[in-house]
Chains A and B, each alone.
Chain A
């Protein structure tokens, strides 16, 4: 049993657990008892793998980015999650959870979304399965992310505005939890990241672990070695990073970089760099690290990237940070935007601004020249074109 994976009590070191009101206990307990059993069923695995292959388009390519490599003086590969159906890694998890929900006999799906990527990935699998879907989205995000709202509606999902608190991702998550409390029997909540009460962080990480599973195989084919020297991924809640790190956690020779969003700068007061600014606490059902006041009130984060704009991180990340297994670093809005443009100009790939944070950190690593590096390109930048255009005044 890896010390970096969840233990039988639902904890990663001191982090994790299930800090939920009694109203959610039966739902979470049911998941806890069933998720590993269902995921191990042959029929589940067959359907999951078939959908990942034929519907999502997996395996996603591991692309040797030659001009990027030349610029930084290392052999850099991009794990192309941006090429998945719906444009990001999010669908790996929603495919897994919809199959699980179906086997639990659930008739209705709810989800939270920030930028709308997870909402779209959830609405997609609900359309695929003909299951009723409601997505909670902050009122402010609904205004900022109109194309994704349209995609969800087109797929038949109901998009419900979260009008409480700061009207963004944190509040959309609160509203989804409230919905689940009020509809405990027939509804499954598809959480989009490695956050929430146990078993969500572990379940979502397992569904996303396909990213590192494929990377190992592809790297072996291309280089004769399974393991790279360095792996980079961005972290909001942390689901693409959890999937990208999963099969490398126990190989301590693989250096892991988790890149948070520093917004206008870690000390600017407008940031989402959770490990730099946060303290241990409980949010959305698990004990982790979160940005909060001295009085334990959650602080609203800021990042230009809606997908990284979350005041906490998943409990596994909190543990990788605290144990020193992962290097938790941060990148500002400006650094990320320039890295996004750079990839576009060097490789002809427009990355999501989230993924641009991981790319931007390449500049900060003093490469010796012989390292093999994998960057998780978690999503494509179509949704961010407006932002890029405005930022660079194109």
Chain B
């Protein structure tokens, strides 16, 4: 498992995109381009018909990807060549039902074989994970990433920190994806509060990060941040692959 840590002073930038969008076979091309452009790690979404935690942009990309025929079976077929082309950490992100139908054990093994570092499944609750799946994840060296929100209690955050071994997904606010980060004092105080808990896992902020300003704001007290909707939105433009370096540059430089 690759470690999520800063190699220099600059915060880590992670990019989310949906597998199979805009084209069925665009997954690895986008991943490779992102690594070359300087993204520090990746989240590849596997699409689901009912993505309740997502706003319109990722709903749309999921719908198109499913229409293109994307399935977990096809995704893992594509990911067989992942590590020939991409060396930065890669996480898969999606909803629990496709994983249950694929089979949790088979899913974890497929992740391991593909060289995937971990998974983020927002609707897999901590209780079920511990009771049923933790052992399978650990056997396959797969990290399960938990989410923390402004409403998560300190006790629960401590528990999440103990169960985590890669990073903690810190939600910028209680919201679905694709909203704009509230850059006010409240958000700052929240990031600082979690920072000051001195957790053993690095904090990566997600939801509402769209540009350099929000990226920097989110990284002040954390290890880095994730951009999803703002990146996915650009994938329906002409020559989207060629425009990736410019986008990453606009955030990191």
Contacts and interface: CB of A to CB of B under 8 A. Distances in A.
Contact of B97 (A164, A171, A185, A281): A281
Contact of B73 (A25, A171, A285, A295): A295
B147 interface: yes
Interface stretch (B109-117, B171-179, B245-253): B171-179
A165 B63 contact: yes
Contacts of A170: 50
Interface in A1-46: 9, 17-23, 25-26
B152 A22 contact: yes
Given A23-B147, A292-B101, A294-B101, A165 B49 contact: yes
B96 interface: yes
Given A26-B152, A283-B97, A21 B123 contact: yes
B174 A181 contact: yes
A178 B52 contact: yes
A21 B52 contact: yes
A297 B71 CA distance: 9
Contacts of B96: 19, 282
B244 interface: no
Contacts of A295: 71-73, 98, 101-102
B59 interface: yes
A182 interface: yes
B146 A22 contact: yes
A177 interface: yes
B170 to A, nearest CB: 11
Interface string B161-198: 00000000001001110010000000000000000000
Interface residues of A, number: 34
Contacts of B50: 165, 170-171, 174, 283-284, 298
Contact of A292 (B97, B123, B147): B97
B28 to A, nearest CB: 20
A298 B49 contact: yes
Contacts of A164: 56, 59
Contacts of B101: 279, 281, 292, 294-296
A184 interface: yes
Contacts of B44: none
Contacts of A165: 49-50, 59, 63
B148 interface: yes
Interface of B: 48-53, 55-56, 59, 63, 66, 71-73, 95-102, 122-125, 127-128, 146-149, 151-153, 156, 171, 174-176, 179
